[in-house]
């Protein structure tokens, strides 16, 4: 089958498009999909580069997000037939531990993500647990479903489940163009919140505005935590969503109002920062970490995507052979929204 593989960690150049990779066979409880669309996440860049302690079976195939057609059923699979249109929940959990039994799959001790430790969707075929499938309604494209998966479930779990965002609250989203940020803008808007966005260019901010952002702050033109303070009558915002980390967390805390919540959902600029704990107890701020989502959050947010109430932003559609080009686009921050591939 066609696939984009790598045999060692490193820069984009380690990626290879091949046409003779063995087609995987589904084991017990698993299903093989013919991939109709896959989508790129920052996770795929991190996995390609590797990190201490990450040991993969090489060659590796990246890709967490995908949608396609059921192609083969492993033993003990029921409820699906060959030809079903489906989208993949990219969260892999054991299904048996106390967290999984309590419906908190993203806290599973064996939690991982498709394409992170297992071979993913940048291929013609992928094998996934049958319980990770969700039926795709007619009229919803594979590309839209693949583009939605990881970023929408991540944004939904952080803002709604963990963050408890409510109508009438204010939320600041740090960063305009990334997949999680575009999803967060839409979900915050749908929840009835007032949405502030900090971005790095007028162009990205204009696109954030088109998605429903109410207040736009250009971080090249002013100190953005001061701008938030000024724009909120010196109160700050109720909720900040930060996936940048080291570069922004200090300002994110300063932008919060008293009793505010900081949702930490990633650390693309690095994991360490200096924390003045007086802000925490003085302003009674909550730090809330969030990653991925349990199954029921995936179903809830995808139902809104299927209903057209959330619209995934596709910034580039490329053939599978151009996965390396997708990595370059994302690395340079040269795309607004998701990069989608079709085999
Ligand atoms: Zn578990």
Q: What tens digit of pLDDT does each residue of 75-132 get?
A: 999 999 999 999 999 999 999 999 999 999 999 999 999 999 999 999 999 999 999 9
Which helix (H) or strand (E) segment is 330 a member of? helix 323-331
Tell me the domains of the chain and their CATH numbers.
3-151+293-342 (3.90.180.10), 164-289 (3.90.180.10)
CB within 8 Å of 121: residues ≥ 6 apart: 35, 38, 61, 63, 64, 65, 66, 88, 114, 115, 146
* Rounded CA separation 52/321 (Å): 29
Distance 336 CA to ligand 1 centre (A): 34
What rounded mean pLDDT belongs to the chain? 96
Q: Are 237 and 255 in contact (CB under 8 A)?
A: yes
Mean pLDDT, residues 294-315: 97
| Ligand 1 mean position, distance from CA 250 (Å) | 34
The total of other beta-carbon atoms located within 10 Å of residue 76's CB is 10
Confidence band, pLDDT 50/70/90 cuts, at residue 343: confident
Q: What is the mean pLDDT of residues 172-198?
A: 94
259-278: average pLDDT: 93
pLDDT score, position 251: 94
Predicted local distance difference test score (pLDDT) of residue 198: 96
Cis-peptide into 59, omega within 30 deg: yes
What is the C-alpha to C-alpha distance for residues 224 and 41, in angstroms, rounded to an integer?
26
Q: Give how far Cα 317 sits from Cα of 17, 47, 334, Å.
A: 17, 22, 14
* Ligand 1: centre distance to CA 261 (Å): 28
Rounded CA separation 264/114 (Å): 22
List CB-based neighbours of ion ligand 1 within 5 Å: 93-94, 97, 100, 108
Say what the pLDDT of residue 334 is.
86
If you measure from the C-alpha of residue 106 to the centroid of ligand 1, how many angstroms do you get, rounded to a whole number?
Answer: 8
User: How many angstroms does the Cα of residue 27 sit away from the middle of ligand 1?
Assistant: 19
Q: How do 170-174 and 237-242 pair as beta strands?
A: parallel
What is the helix (H) or strand (E) element at residue 162, kind and residue range? none
In contact, 279 and 251? CB cutoff 8 Å: no
In this prediction the pTM is 0.95
Nearest to 196 by CA among 156, 160, 151, 242: 242
293 C-alpha to center of ligand 1: Å? 13
Is pLDDT above 90 for 47? yes
Look up residue 30 and give its DSSP letter.
E
| CA separation for the pair 295, 106 (Å, rounded) | 8
Q: Residue 176: what pLDDT?
A: 80
Q: How is 33-79 classified by DSSP, letter by letter?
A: EEEEEEE--HHHHHHHH--TT----SSEE--SEEEEEEEEE-TT--S
Distance 109 CA to ligand 1 centre (A): 6
| Cα 235 to ligand 1 centre (Å) | 41
Residue 336 pLDDT level (bands cut at 50, 70, 90): confident
pLDDT at 177 over 90: no
CB contact at 8 A, 185 and 337: no
Of the chain, the percentage scoring pLDDT greater than 70 comes to 100
Greater confidence (160 vs 333) lies with 160
Tell which phi-psi region holds residue 42, choosing left (phi > 0), alpha (psi between -120 and 50) or beta. Answer: alpha
Alpha helices in 213-322 (DSSP H): 224-231, 249-254, 277-283, 295-306
CA–centroid distance, residue 47 to ligand 1 (Å)? 22
Residue 258 above 90 pLDDT? yes
Share of the chain above pLDDT 90, in %: 93
Q: pLDDT tens across 99-115, in order?
A: 999 999 999 999 999 99
Q: Which of 239, 173, 231 is nearest to 205 (CA)?
A: 173
Q: How far is the CA of 294 from the centre of ligand 1 (A)?
A: 11
Closest CA to 171 of 265, 246, 41, 295: 265
Among 174-183, 198-207, 287-296, name the one with the lowest average pLDDT.
174-183
Residue 103 alpha carbon to ligand 1 centre in Å: 9
Rounded mean pLDDT, 142-147: 98
How many angstroms is it from 93 CA to the middle of ligand 1?
Answer: 5
Distance of CA 94 to the CA centre of its chain: 21
Cα–Cα distance, 273 to 191 (Å, whole number): 31
**308 CB-near residues (< 8 Å, 6+ apart):** none
């Amino acid at each position: 089958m066609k696939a984009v593989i790598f045999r060692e960690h490193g820069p984009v150049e380690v990626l290879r498009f091949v046409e003779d990779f063995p087609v995987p066979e589904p084991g017990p409880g698993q299903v093989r999909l013919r991939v109709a669309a896959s989508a790129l996440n920052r996770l795929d860049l991190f996995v390609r580069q590797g990190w201490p302690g990450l040991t993969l079976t090489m060659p590796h195939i990246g890709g967490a997000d995908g949608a396609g057609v059921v192609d083969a059923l492993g033993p003990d699979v029921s409820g699906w037939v060959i030809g079903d249109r489906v989208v993949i929940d990219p969260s892999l959990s054991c299904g048996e531990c106390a967290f999984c039994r309590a419906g908190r799959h993203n806290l599973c001790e064996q939690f991982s993500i498709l394409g992170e430790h297992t071979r993913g969707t940048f291929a013609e075929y992928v094998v996934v647990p049958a319980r990770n499938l969700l039926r795709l309604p007619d009229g919803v494209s594979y590309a839209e479903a693949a583009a939605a998966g990881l970023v929408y479930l991540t944004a939904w779990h952080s803002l709604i489940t963990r963050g408890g965002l409510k109508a009438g609250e204010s939320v600041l989203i740090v960063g305009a163009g990334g997949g999680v940020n575009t999803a967060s803008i839409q979900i915050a808007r749908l929840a009835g919140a007032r949405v502030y966005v900090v971005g790095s260019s007028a162009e990205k901010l204009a696109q954030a505005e088109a998605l429903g952002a109410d207040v736009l702050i250009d971080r090249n033109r002013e100190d953005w935590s001061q701008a938030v303070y000024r724009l909120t009558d010196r109160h700050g915002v109720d909720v900040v969503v930060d996936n940048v980390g080291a570069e922004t967390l200090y300002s994110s805390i300063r932008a919060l109002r008293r009793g505010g919540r900081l949702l930490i959902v990633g650390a693309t600029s690095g994991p360490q920062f200096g924390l003045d704990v007086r802000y925490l107890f003085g302003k009674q701020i909550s730090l809330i970490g969030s990653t991925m989502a349990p199954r029921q959050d995936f179903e809830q947010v995808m139902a809104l995507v299927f209903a057209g109430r959330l619209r995934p932003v596709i910034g580039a559609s490329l053939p599978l052979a151009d996965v390396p080009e997708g990595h370059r686009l994302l690395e340079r921050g040269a795309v607004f929204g998701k990069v989608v591939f079709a085999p």
